[in-house]
Chain A
Amino acid sequence: MMHTEITPTKSKVLPPEQKQTIFGWTKKNLFNSWFNIILTFVSLFIIFIVLKGTLTWVVTNADWEVIRANYRLFMVGQFSEEEIWRVWSALLYLTLLFGLSAGIWKGTIRQLSFLLTAIYVIHLALPFLSGHTKIWLLSNIVTLFASYVIGLKLPKGKMIGIGGWLFSIIVILFFLQGFGILPSVQTSMWNGLLLTVILSAVAIVGSFPIGILLALGRTSKLPIIKYFCIAYIEFIRGIPLITVFFSMQILIPLFLPEGFTVANIIRVMIGATLFTAAYMAENVRGGLQSIPKGQFEAAKTIGLSSIQSTFLIILPQALRAVIPAIVGQSISMFKDTSLVAIVGLVDLLGIAQTVKSNPAFLGHHMEVYLFVALVYWVIAYAMSYSSRRLEETLGVGKR
């Protein structure tokens, strides 16, 4: 057999060395024509005005007492003082998972763990937090590092890591809700960032498999399945999220036997999940359509059944192609949770409304909104950053 190997021939000629000085770069990129020179100066002027105004306000005019005094409220709302260890324990479990996964998979999850560490360290440096809180923060940091080291060495790490994540929702809900073993904390007491994060996590994680099934159903050859999926997707996409929240308040009790109630938070979770699933389905369908027909044919000709070819060949490629859309949908869901205020749940933005109408802090709504925006931004940016990283890592087999 012939070996016609394409080996890259080592080129002995190096590219011409390019010395890039700061001066050279500015000249090339900012001052290379009269028009650009004017544009540069105008832009600099605008940036200067905006920055100066903002920074002066942040440093001198703003009174951050409103954030300091209500910090606990923003984070966990009315979760009672005696039971707060449960929120910390749930967080500690998450920290443990992040550390382990950082050790096992490295890459994106390790960078997210850095971010988590940075957030803990910043909080540790905040002067107004109690000693009790700082002990918890410190133990989170220690846990993160310890579990990272363990994760690096753990045999069968991936299995344990995936198991840990699958288990995480149950563990976290156990700590927060108690399941009758720990004293119950009413779900109406779950407010602030805690509620925002739980709601969006449930909606995103829950909508993903439902969305995939809907997308596959929409391409199905069986008319009943196909038209059910189309009807569902098109109906949900045609109504606003608020309507879904409202109708869940009314509809879910109708389906339940008398004397049986479902907590408001559960109804909202179901509504948000079903709503996001319709959008996820359309994203996934976009991915399915991007797969060339030849892939289906090749899968058939080597003898794979249609279920095998869907899960081994088509979905892995389709999902990879639509990571940006899926993450975009997740970010948008995360921010849309702020609508739950309408049905009486108090999320991060809801707390902001409460705090700014507290007579003691009247007139400080700017500080409150800026702070809330910052919290939303950090989390949303972490999501979009990891999506970009994930695309790069998975780009290996790209055609």
Chain B
Amino acid sequence: MEQVMPKEMPEKEIIRCHNVNKWFGKLHVLKDVNLSIKKGEVLVILGPSGSGKSTFIRTINGLEDIQQGDIVIDEITLSHDIKHIEAIRKETGMVFQQFNLFPHMTILKNITLAPIWVRKKPKKEAEKEALELLERVGIPEQANKYPGQLSGGQQQRVAIARALAMQPEIMLFDEPTSALDPEMIKEVLDVMKELAKSGMTMLVVTHEMGFAREVADRIVLFDNGEIVETGTPEALFDNPQHDRTKLFLSQIL
């Protein structure tokens, strides 16, 4: 990947969220969320289920729309204009809890689909890059199988490769290991760690505390649709400021 750069250098804010509010019907699920993320930063979002963390990450690439506030991604303001949403989706890759691979296509086709149809790359070139990506996530030999023939961990690694194939600036992870058997979690986390080291900007919603402590540059704790506390892993885990954070950590650790 191109964006191998030292982490200290860039100070540019690639994601800016200002007073983001969202309601599901009458339920206020995101309350005045303010958050900025620098290029190359790895941000882990923690919080109990129903706290709005998944909803928040899904607003970043327009899967959920917001009723108030602004989200600016790489100087593009997210709006209802489908052109803007499509432009932002080309900048962001997303990995889902349920993998969401296309079951009727081989692994190779899953990965080359968007480069060929959206980036208009020649098929040969897209396949070459896809094989390199499969190499990077450690499963080059699965290229011609179908998703149903792979284990959960392998499928999730393919999903990461599929997102990377569009050469995104930002990667969004929505509980990427929550649907996996315990012995497969590590193989997915290893891929994510390697990605973080390469300088990718990452937003990760997860329950993997070990990963958060080791890889995150900054951790955000969500509760009840609000950001409760923000800080480095050390600060948040070892010296939490808010009672809510202390309670959450005591329940989970």
Contacts and interface: CB of A to CB of B under 8 A. Distances in A.
A305 B139 CA distance: 29
A304 B162 CA distance: 13
B105 A397 contact: yes
B163 to A, nearest CB: 7
B148 A304 contact: no
A234 B139 CA distance: 50
Contacts of B146: 396-397
A384 to B, nearest CB: 23
B103 A399 contact: yes
A300 to B, nearest CB: 6
The contact size tier of chain A is: 20 to 34
A4 interface: yes
A301 B93 contact: yes
A145 B186 CA distance: 57
B211 interface: no
B163 A2 contact: no
B220 interface: no
A1 B136 contact: yes
A379 to B, nearest CB: 30
A297 B96 contact: yes
Interface string A163-180: 000000000000000000
Interface in A234-284: none
Interface stretch (A84-92, A152-160, A208-216, A311-319): A311-319
A302 interface: yes
B86 A303 contact: yes
A2 B113 contact: no
A3 interface: yes
Contacts of A132: none
Contacts of B117: 304, 308, 312
A313 B153 contact: no
A142 B135 CA distance: 51
Given A312-B113, A396-B146, A302 B166 contact: yes
A4 B150 CA distance: 12
Interface string B87-118: 00110111010101111110000000110011
Interface in B108-145: 113-114, 117-118, 136-139, 141
Contacts of B98: 292, 294
Contact of A302 (B113, B184, B187): B113
Contacts of A302: 89, 93, 113-114, 118, 162-163, 165-166
B140 to A, nearest CB: 10
A397 B146 CA distance: 6
Nearest to A308: B117
A399 B137 CA distance: 22
A12 interface: no
Interface string A2-43: 111110000000000000000000000000000000000000
A298 interface: yes
Given A302-B163, A303-B114, A305-B86, A397 B148 contact: yes
Closest 8 CB pairs of A and B: A298-B100, A302-B114, A294-B100, A301-B94, A1-B138, A397-B146, A303-B118, A397-B104
20 contacts: A1-B191, A2-B190, A3-B138, A4-B153, A4-B184, A4-B186, A5-B139, A298-B102, A301-B61, A301-B92, A301-B93, A301-B94, A301-B163, A302-B166, A304-B117, A304-B118, A397-B105, A398-B103, A399-B103, A399-B148
Interface of B: 61-63, 86, 89-90, 92-94, 96, 98, 100-105, 113-114, 117-118, 136-139, 141, 146-148, 151, 153-154, 159, 162-163, 165-166, 184, 186-187, 190-191, 194
